[in-house]
Amino acid sequence: MEVESALERFHSLKLTDIMPRFETMPVVTADSDLLSVLKILRTRHHVWVVDSRENMKLVGVIRYRDVIDVLLPPEAHKFKLGMTSKTMRSMLGGATKAEDVAERHVLTVEEDATVLDALMKMRKYKIQVLAVVKDGKLVGEVSLRILIDELLRLLRVGGAQWRA
């Protein structure tokens, strides 16, 4: 298999065919305490926040880098105009649950999207992970690492060789 045909096949793959098993995803409910979130973030780059395990409605995401705002005291976030949304995300500012610190504007991709759709969105918004949703419910995730793994698998299986 030529690299070009491997890439064409890769781009047309459905995300549902390459997403990791749902049980392996970092997911917490909106009412989960922050210590549970921090424990997950020791080994993961993000945690998805859902309304409940029953409805799986996506509420937001907490990224590893967002933990800085959670750990800083509220006064570290204050500006001359007063309180900011980041002030409220601080543990000392009163944040106790996952929903208190979750970023609500989550970039998503629909369940029936292709790898190419996901890559285009990742490039446009300069991000490396997308929530995969169906009717607003979290059904999976796709990350640049997952996409790289899948491309390498395709190239190995197809016996493609990079040519200079």
Tens of pLDDT, residue by residue over 90-108, are 788 888 999 999 999 999 9
Structural domain includes residue 129? yes
Number of Cα atoms under 13 Å in the Cβ half of residue 146: 23
Once rounded to an integer, what is the mean pLDDT over residues 10-38?
A: 96
Give me the pLDDT at residue 164, please.
Answer: 41
The number of distinct structural domains making up the chain is 1
Buried b (16+ CB within 10 A) or exposed e, 116-132: ebbbebbeeeeeebbbb
Once rounded to an integer, what is the mean pLDDT over residues 7-25?
A: 94
Q: What CATH number is given to the structural domain containing 97?
A: 3.10.580.10
Structural domain includes residue 111? yes
Structural domain includes residue 62? yes
Q: What is the CA radius of gyration of the chain?
A: 19
Structural domain includes residue 43? yes
Provide the domain limits for residue 51: 3-158
Query: Could you read off the pLDDT of 54-78 as tens digits, one per residue?
Result: 999 999 999 998 888 888 887 776 6
Structural domain includes residue 55? yes
In terms of Cα–Cα distance, which of 62, 88, 59 is closest to 73? 88
Structural domain includes residue 82? yes
Q: Are strands 58-63 and 46-50 parallel, antiparallel or unpaired?
A: antiparallel
Structural domain includes residue 164? no
More confident residue, 120 or 3: 120
Give me the pLDDT at residue 160, please.
Answer: 56
Give me the pLDDT at residue 88, please.
Answer: 61
Structural domain includes residue 110? yes
Q: Which of 6-15, 22-31, 53-62, 84-93 has the lowest mean pLDDT?
A: 84-93
